[in-house]
Amino acid sequence: MLPYLLSLPALLVCIAILVPFVTAAVYSLQRYRLNLPYLRGFIGVDNYIDFLSDPAFWNTLRISLVYTASTVVLELLLGLGIALLLRRPTRFHNAVSIVLLLPLMTAPAIAALMWKLMTNPGFGILSYLIGLFGVHDFKWASDPSTALFTVVLVDVWVYTPFIMILLLAGLRSLPRQPFEAAALDGVPTSFVFFRITLPMLAPYIITASLFRLLDSIQQFDIIYAMTQGGPGDRLMVFQVQAYLEFFQYTNVGRSAALLMILWLITNILSNIFIKNWLRLRARAHGHA
Amino acid sequence: MDHSSLAGRIFRGVALALVLVFFMFPIVWILLMSFQTNEQILRIPPHILFEPTLANYEALISGQLRTAAGNLEISFMRNLMNSFVLSSAAVLLALLLGVPAAYAFARFKFRLGESIAFTLLSFRFAPPLLVLLPLSLYYQELGLNDTYFGIVWVYQLIALPLILWIVRGYFEDISPDIEHAYRLAGHTWREAFTRIAVPLAGPGIAAAGLLSFIFCWNNFVFALILASADKQPVTVGALAFVTASGIQYGQIAAAIVLSVTPTLLLALYAQRYLVEGLSLGAVKG
């Protein structure tokens, strides 16, 4: 009896999540517009089928994937590089790794505002600095051709430390013997990196990347705070599009269908993630 | 790893310097901006040296913004207070609900427990709007829209999975033998839980609580959907402030500084727990 009693509150929260989730699944099968309540009715998978011929949907899918791929790849390379630089646990390296936590602990929406101030075409320091290098009329987030670059930059600023901190913990927990043996034998650095460090670090790299992948494909805060999905539809990622469908076009059915598709993608990814993560967790806590 | 060659050391030094500049510059620059007047901010080229002013902070704290166009009321301090109230209440509730559940999951292997733990974990990775949008319709019917309680309740989606999984790991690391011995001495399970298990898992509970606080504080989308102006936390409030007074750059910078200071201080204070907390306890730092 006792364990059930103790987990009762957590169960309630679970129900509080699952009820709206099932509701969303039902909405996605309905014609449901808040401004036209009398038209509401079951329409099967029509909302989903409509997406197939809707260029706005394919734009959303494409932008979300490009955003996710760019942020995760950049953050992984940069995070790995920084973790390798800070690998030896000297006092200075530890101080640097703590300071690098600060962007990660900044609210992403606020981080977007910070970069908005710095990239203001009139007085922004970054606009000024690139002007010194002869780049003028760089409009950052307000120009369709550079908007994606700008929000990816903010995402990289906020989340690279996350990858760095995980990989640094991973690097420092690796057994020493293989590296000592390699050093004794005079094995070249690049060989050690590709044949020893990387393979041993792989579980950490996979966990960190999946974690970021899951968050990145759902990015809302940075993009909404920066441009609300604009200019035009240039940054209409899944959640921003779904938000606008709901609040601007009051089309609940379409919004829910869009989110269900996103959920399907993240659910596949998160199952892989959870499996991986459980393995790492068991190893870290010393029990299977 | 070659630490010895001069070229290698120079390369590492330069690389580290660039990393520090990239990640620290925005914070430092906004901090500097918050002590400048609008005229100073708009100067080109920008000046590193300037006469600092507290006017931006005074305007935010007094809630009165005097501009050429007239007086503007700012409710930013209210946003700041909302953030404190909402985040603290959410973390307290999550600890109250989560710590006993984490203990149950760690000590008793039962199916319902595993299902709850995994449902919460997998919804940690589900799109928040998927739950939030239907919930906002339910909230309207239930009258929970735009109430502190309604917002604190949805913040459980952030705080509870974090607390459950981190604290559970800590409980699992404590040998149950100590509690067994204590109970054999004639104490109830409740005493064993509050006097033995909870104190031993103390650091984990503190870490999970601090981290949940930071994540609740930094959350944006929940309150964007569920709260109106007078219940909004700083993340939503700062954006509204930018929209309302788009050209008061000094005040915007000051508002940003006030919004991030509490979490950055907490992060520095609790940094040794963060590594583990961030990975939900998967990596022991």
Residue-wise pLDDT for A23-52, tens only, equals 999 999 999 998 888 888 899 889 999 999
Residue B279's pLDDT band (boundaries 50, 70, 90)? low
Residue A284 contacts B where some CB pair is shorter than 8 Å: yes
Report the run of H or E that residue B161 belongs to, with start and end.
helix B148-173
- Residue-wise pLDDT for B215-236, tens only, equals 999 999 999 999 888 899 999 9
Q: Residue A228 region, left (φ>0) first, then alpha (ψ -120 to 50), else beta? A: left
Closest CA to A14 of B176, B171, B114, B136: B114
What would the mean pLDDT of B133-160 be, rounded to a whole number?
A: 92
* pLDDT value of position A282: 79
Cα distance from B262 to chain A (closest Cα, Å)? 10
d(CA A113, CA B27): 12
**CB of A111 within 8 A of CB of A154?**
yes
Residue B284's pLDDT band (boundaries 50, 70, 90)? low
- Residue-wise pLDDT for A165-174, tens only, equals 999 988 988 8
Residue type, A160: T
**CB of B201 within 8 A of CB of B207?**
no
- Residue-wise pLDDT for A221-255, tens only, equals 999 999 998 898 999 999 999 999 999 999 999 99
- Residue-wise pLDDT for B103-143, tens only, equals 998 888 888 888 888 888 888 888 999 999 999 999 999 99
Peptide bond into B233 cis (omega under 30): no
Closest CA to B131 of A265, A27, A57: A27
Q: Which residues contact B255 (CB under 8 A, 6 or more apart)?
A: B60, B76, B234, B237, B238, B241
Q: What angle do CA B118, B271, B212 make, to 5 degrees?
A: 40
**CB of A104 within 8 A of CB of B234?**
no
* pLDDT value of position A14: 87
Q: Cα torsion for A93, A95, A96, A100, to the nearest 10°?
A: 140
Ordered alpha helix ranges (H), A37-100? 46-52, 55-85, 91-99
Q: What angle do CA B165, A261, B125 make, to 5 degrees?
A: 10
Check B281 against A255: CB less than 8 A apart: no
d(CA A83, CA A102): 16
Residue A108 contacts B where some CB pair is shorter than 8 Å: yes
Peptide bond into A20 cis (omega under 30): no
With beta carbons under 8 A apart, name residues in chain B contacting A267.
122, 125-126
Q: What percent of chain B has pLDDT over 90?
A: 44
Closest CA to B138 of B232, B226, B221: B226
* pLDDT value of position B142: 92
* pLDDT value of position A205: 92
Exposure letters A135-157 (e unless 16+ CB within 10 A, then b):
eeebebbbeeebbbebbbbbbbb
How many contacts (CB atoms, under 8 Å) link A and B? 288
* pLDDT value of position A288: 40
Average pLDDT, chain B: 87
Check A166 against B283: CB less than 8 A apart: yes
Q: Which residue of A has its CA nearest to B269?
A: A98
Q: Tokens for A252? A: 């609940």
* pLDDT value of position B108: 85
Check B1 against A285: CB less than 8 A apart: no
- Residue-wise pLDDT for A98-118, tens only, equals 999 999 999 999 999 999 999
Residue A140 contacts B where some CB pair is shorter than 8 Å: no
Q: Which residues contact A210 (CB under 8 A, 6 or more apart)?
A: A269, A270, A272, A273, A276, A277
Closest CA to B29 of A137, A78, A111: A111
How far is Cα of residue A76 from the mean position of the Cα atoms in its chain? 12
Q: Tokens for A151? A: 């929000």
Residue A55's pLDDT band (boundaries 50, 70, 90)? very high
Check B242 against A88: CB less than 8 A apart: no
Tell me the torsion sign for CA atoms B144, B150, B154, B160: negative
What would the mean pLDDT of B85-114 be, rounded to a whole number?
A: 91
**CB of B86 within 8 A of CB of B151?**
yes
What would the mean pLDDT of B149-177 be, rounded to a whole number?
A: 89
Q: Which of residues 164-183 of A touch B (CB under 8 A)?
A: 165-166, 169-170, 173, 179, 183
- Residue-wise pLDDT for A181-195, tens only, equals 998 998 898 899 899
**Which of A269-273, B10-14, B270-274 shows the lowest mean pLDDT across its residues?**
B270-274
d(CA A42, CA B125): 29
- The SS3 of residue A41 is strand
With beta carbons under 8 A apart, name residues in chain A contacting B92.
none
* pLDDT value of position A21: 93
**CB of A49 within 8 A of CB of A274?**
no
Nearest to B256 among A86, A110, A243 (CB): A110
d(CA A80, CA A199): 13
Closest CA to A104 of A156, A152, A154, A158: A158
Cα distance from B199 to chain A (closest Cα, Å)? 18
Residues forming beta bridges with residue B65, ordered by sequence position: B72
Q: Tokens for A278? A: 């459980």
Closest CA to A166 of A201, A194, A119, A118: A201
Identify the residue with better confidence: B5 or B71: B5
Q: Which of residues 55-74 of A touch B (CB under 8 A)?
A: none
CA distances from A70 to A15, B51, B53, B179 (A): 36, 41, 40, 50
d(CA B275, CA B285): 6
CA distances from B282 to A96, A280, B244 (A): 23, 6, 43
Closest CA to B210 of B154, B173, B264: B264
Eight-class DSSP state of B73: E
